[in-house]
Amino acid sequence: MSTDAALRARAAKVIPGGMWGHLNAAKLPEGYPQFFARGEGGHVWDVDGNRYVDLMCSWGPIILGHHDPVVEAAARRQADLGDCLNGPGPVLVELAERLVERIPAADWAMFMKNGTDATTACVTIARAATGRGTILLANGSYHGAAPWCTPVPAGTRPEDRANQGRFDYNDVASLTAAADAAGSDLAGIIITAFRHDNVVDQELPSREFAEAARRICDTRGAALILDDVRAGFRLHPGGSWEGLGVRPDLSAWSKAIANGHALAAVTGRDSLREAAASVFVTGSFWCSAVSMAAAVATLEELERRDVVGQLERLGLMLREGLAERARGFNIGLRQSGPVSMPLFLFEGDQEFRAGRAFCAAALKAGAYLHPRHNMFLCAAHTEADIALVLDAAEAGFRALAA
Amino acid sequence: MSTDAALRARAAKVIPGGMWGHLNAAKLPEGYPQFFARGEGGHVWDVDGNRYVDLMCSWGPIILGHHDPVVEAAARRQADLGDCLNGPGPVLVELAERLVERIPAADWAMFMKNGTDATTACVTIARAATGRGTILLANGSYHGAAPWCTPVPAGTRPEDRANQGRFDYNDVASLTAAADAAGSDLAGIIITAFRHDNVVDQELPSREFAEAARRICDTRGAALILDDVRAGFRLHPGGSWEGLGVRPDLSAWSKAIANGHALAAVTGRDSLREAAASVFVTGSFWCSAVSMAAAVATLEELERRDVVGQLERLGLMLREGLAERARGFNIGLRQSGPVSMPLFLFEGDQEFRAGRAFCAAALKAGAYLHPRHNMFLCAAHTEADIALVLDAAEAGFRALAA
């Protein structure tokens, strides 16, 4: 029995369903490990000693690479002083200042642990600021796993999703209609940095859509909330909509902010500062200094290494290489979203059989890909890693063609 | 200007209100620092180099002492392998097994980051298990800072607190009446380990009350949820109601579980296992292995050092010493709750003026106390530390008497 299988058998006894949440490997193709032993740079090792080029990057948090030496040294220096104390360390102020410097839409910052903490705080702040209730969300968008936003309704109640309106991503008419329906109760609009809904092609936001969201919030006195939890720092160092020239009132951050250390943040504009100070959101570990020291180091390294540019170059190499190989096999491969956060889906593959067979073969060849979820590149990936992924993909295409 | 004042001035620019949540020092007496430099054992140092005997223990997480060498060594060993990966490490299984071994009411475990994550998951699991909506909560109890439970309603909506009934802690008649009012919609009852509401005397649960809660849940098919986030591991190694002989269906844990590392947990009985597997609760850092390695080490050390017994001995020394000194000054000091989680309030001190003056004087004499919130002892406190706190308290009583 493999070590992974032995651990799964033990887990089945003491963990409901053997594993919970998005890290449950039960729905991944045969051969995917549930348990991991370690990570280094752009690679991870499972508990049976198999090494993979890691294209999930821990589902987003790893942006510089596993065990980044600069980040880990900063974390260790802070850990030698203290982590969770009776109040924050000086690093809280330093981190907030860095974010305000680097994010044009940020006049202030607050910190949490989960992306869901940050999106929930944004919604709460928008409601406190406006004294209104309705928040608009795009159909299919993921904003976290609290009762108000979890995609699986088990154990939630209809009231958890009260005070919400829905629109379609990138559809100005449906957004306008939802805002009209909310009328004078419109507190805010929350939008993911790009459309990265589960199991459908990704879509970048159109400039028209982003500008319409901004205009609707401006004319109706509502707050525009950018959910940058998943994409933050991978597309633009100052916020994912900077390239569009549209600035949110509130932004939710997490995932990559501290290169794997548990941290989330809300940043906002001065107009929302008083409301942010009025709400009571808190947690026992929200001021833990080690994650903040890791975040300061991560932000510095992102800039110093031009990580956005580097991820784009690597991502383009991957995208073009995959397209070329798919054409060679005459396979209909759809690639969507930013090149640094790629999603591969196969034409006509409603049940993901092709995707699963492709990924299972690529896994055996040393590339850890995902058959349905967007993936993530990191700055520790090398051209040799991308070449290995392309060879692994070739094995995947060969399996499909067979 | 002190370093603390300089940091506060910088923070005022980039953090709403200068600080948010329960770690905001603005409401503490003059002289209390906002920012901390480090911790070691039972002591903390503020950013101006003042050392205090720490009776807040980071508001609960520190149970063995700051920088516990065994816990930190375990955390470092895991950090050298990996923390946040594409799935959990083997330590997830080890930790779940330990909890199931040591907690009689636990057949399984799941892990999160915040105490609020754990209480929210318990409520969600109870609703999923029963298919019903109503959760009963005690008036004044703190279960976290999400919209359904935050004590400050700013930015929340009435619907966030729908499907809730209220009762008074330790009042069987009011609990029964609330259960009757919920009728066939009763999904669960959530109760803190003891009554540790804000700014009122603490109260241990009566056996009659705990047994009534258990009986109501049994006869009506609802889930009994013990919110052991704050008290967990300080009163009994197997759950805070073990001494009462009453076992919950679900327990929420956080704070002390990993001696300051960010972690929370839900444990539950087999009857709730399927429901726990059916809900979708997750977070980017919920499987971070370092916090789990810290938790495994913490649980081992709690047992090896008989921490519950040690905290009781130290707490009793503190309580008796304070009572004796208060009598000497003829001051009406009310001490309540478990001796290891003490709360001091002064007779007739509605505006906490006496409490504030007392704490301010004690702080100058080197003891970090809290004028309104329960405090926490840790296993690194020594008899000499308690003696120092008693001397500092003497200075506090003297200030009051003057």
Q: Give me the percent of chain A exceeding a pLDDT of 90.
A: 99
B93, A7 contact by CB (below 8 A): yes
Contacts of A375 in chain B (CB under 8 A): none
With tokens 């104390």, the residue in question is A85
Contacts of A254 in chain B (CB under 8 A): 284
Q: Who contacts A246 (Cβ-Cβ below 8 Å, separation ≥6)?
A: A207, A210, A211, A213, A214
Cα torsion at A360, A150, A225, A88 (round to 10°)?
Answer: -90
A46, A37 contact by CB (below 8 A): yes
User: Tell me, what's the pLDDT at B255?
Assistant: 98
Q: Who contacts A174 (Cβ-Cβ below 8 Å, separation ≥6)?
A: A167, A168
Q: Who contacts A281 (Cβ-Cβ below 8 Å, separation ≥6)?
A: A110, A112, A117, A120, A121, A124, B20, B21, B145, B150
Among candidates A108, A155, A268 on the partner chain, residue whose Cβ is nearest the Cβ of B279: A155
User: Tell me, what's the pLDDT at A128?
Assistant: 98
Picking from B84, B234, B290 by the largest number of A CB atoms within 10 A of its own CB, the best residue to mutate is: B84
Contacts of A234 in chain B (CB under 8 A): none
Picking from A8, A20, A86 by the largest number of B CB atoms within 10 A of its own CB, the best residue to mutate is: A86
- Beta-sheet pairing, B134-138 with B164-167: parallel
User: Tell me, what's the pLDDT at B367?
Assistant: 98
Q: How far is A162 from chain B (nearest CA, A)?
A: 7
A110, B15 contact by CB (below 8 A): yes
Contact A16 B62 (CB under 8 A): no
Contact B283 A114 (CB under 8 A): yes
**Which pLDDT tens digits describe chain B residue by residue (402 residues)?**
999 999 999 999 999 999 999 999 999 999 999 999 999 999 999 999 999 999 999 999 999 999 999 999 999 999 999 999 999 999 999 999 999 999 999 999 999 999 999 999 999 999 999 999 999 999 999 999 999 999 999 999 999 999 999 999 999 999 999 999 999 999 999 999 999 998 899 999 999 999 999 999 999 999 999 999 999 999 999 999 999 999 999 999 999 999 999 999 999 999 999 999 999 999 999 999 999 999 999 999 999 999 999 999 999 999 999 999 999 999 999 999 999 999 999 999 989 999 999 999 999 999 999 999 999 999 999 999 999 999 999 999 999 998
Among candidates B47, B66, B152 on the partner chain, residue whose Cβ is nearest the Cβ of A280: B152
- Cα→Cα distances A361→A53, A57, A270, B66, B256, Å: 14, 19, 51, 48, 44
B227, B199 contact by CB (below 8 A): no
Phi, psi of A327 (to 5 degrees): -60, -40
With tokens 């809900």, the residue in question is B279
B318, B386 contact by CB (below 8 A): yes
Sheet containing strand A264-268, strands side by side? A108-112, A264-268, A250-253, A223-227, A186-192, A134-138, A164-167
Contact A261 B84 (CB under 8 A): yes
Tens digit of each residue's pLDDT (9 = 90 or more) over A82-137: 999 999 999 999 999 999 999 999 999 999 999 999 999 999 999 999 999 999 99
User: Tell me, what's the pLDDT at A127?
Assistant: 98
For the domain covering A69-304, report its CATH number: 3.40.640.10
Contact B288 A262 (CB under 8 A): yes
Find the closest chain B residue to A114 by CA distance.
B283
For the domain covering B3-64+306-401, report its CATH number: 3.90.1150.10
Exposure pattern of B243-255 as b/e (b: 16+ CB <10 Å)?
A: ebebbbbbbbbbb
Query: According to DSSP H, which parts of A43-142 are helical?
Result: 69-81, 90-102, 115-130
Cα torsion at A196, A198, A201, A206 (round to 10°)?
Answer: -30
Contacts of B280 in chain A (CB under 8 A): 21, 145, 150-152, 154
Contact B100 A19 (CB under 8 A): no
Find the closest chain B residue to A79 by CA distance.
B67
B319, B339 contact by CB (below 8 A): yes
Contact A90 B7 (CB under 8 A): yes
Among candidates A79, A96, A116 on the partner chain, residue whose Cβ is nearest the Cβ of B14: A96
- Cα→Cα distances A137→A70, A134, A158, B366, B375, Å: 38, 10, 16, 51, 42
User: Tell me, what's the pLDDT at A256?
Assistant: 98
Q: How far is B282 from chain A (nearest CA, A)?
A: 5
B38, B44 contact by CB (below 8 A): yes
Tens digit of each residue's pLDDT (9 = 90 or more) over A168-218: 999 999 999 999 999 999 999 999 999 999 889 999 999 999 999 999 999
The token duo for A126 is 């928008």
The token duo for A295 is 């975040």
Phi, psi of B214 (to 5 degrees): -60, -45
The pLDDT-based confidence of A402 (bands split at 50, 70, 90) is confident
Give the C-alpha separation, B46 to B246, whole Å.
42
User: Tell me, what's the pLDDT at A224?
Assistant: 99
Contact A283 B115 (CB under 8 A): yes
User: Tell me, what's the pLDDT at B402?
Assistant: 85
Give the C-alpha separation, B71 to A138, whole Å.
44
Residues A379, A381, A383, A387, CA torsion sign: negative
Contact B21 A286 (CB under 8 A): yes
Contact A86 B23 (CB under 8 A): yes
Q: How far is B328 from chain A (nearest CA, A)?
A: 31
Among candidates B7, B146, B288 on the partner chain, residue whose Cβ is nearest the Cβ of A146: B146
Contact A262 B291 (CB under 8 A): yes
Q: Which residue ranges make up each domain of chain B? A: 3-64+306-401, 69-304
Q: How far is B1 from chain A (nearest CA, A)?
A: 15
Instruction: Please compute the mean of the pLDDT values over residues A287-291 and round it to a whole number.
Output: 98
Contacts of A59 in chain B (CB under 8 A): 86, 284
Contacts of A286 in chain B (CB under 8 A): 21, 23, 114
E strands present in A15-89: 36-40, 43-46, 51-54
